[in-house]
Amino acid sequence: MNNDNTLRRLKTIEGHLKGVIRMVEEDAYCIDVIRQIQAVEAALNKVSSQILESHLNSCVITAIQGDDASERERVLQEITEVFEMANKV
């Protein structure tokens, strides 16, 4: 995972979220607030996807190519759980 890029994106999202908080404090138009929240959600989803891609291309591939069957099962279970949680939200 490229931590510098990930941290930069998350700090940008943090700033955007602070802007949304300020909009609510200033009683901004509801639809404008919702649109900004959706932008924050989309940005978080993008970071999450990038982290997942990195994980799949490193940890998961290593486990699948390894000799430890329980480790393969564990990482595949983790991926399944991530997708199940995403569908609950």
Please list the alpha-helical segments (H only) found in 1-89. Answer: 3-25, 30-55, 61-65, 69-88
Q: What is the per-residue pLDDT across 69-89, written as a single tens digit (0 to 9) for each? A: 999 999 999 999 998 988 886
* CA atoms of 63 and 88, how far apart (whole Å): 27
Q: What is the per-residue pLDDT across 10-66, written as a single tens digit (0 to 9) for each? A: 999 999 999 999 999 999 999 999 999 999 999 999 999 999 999 999 999 999 999
* CA atoms of 73 and 7, how far apart (whole Å): 30
Between the alpha carbon of residue 73 and those of residues 32, 49, 52, the distances in Å are 45, 22, 17
Q: Are 35 and 26 in contact (CB under 8 A)?
A: no
Between the alpha carbon of residue 12 and those of residues 5, 7, 16, 21, 35, the distances in Å are 11, 8, 6, 14, 17
Domains and CATH numbers, the chain: 3-88 (1.20.58.1000)
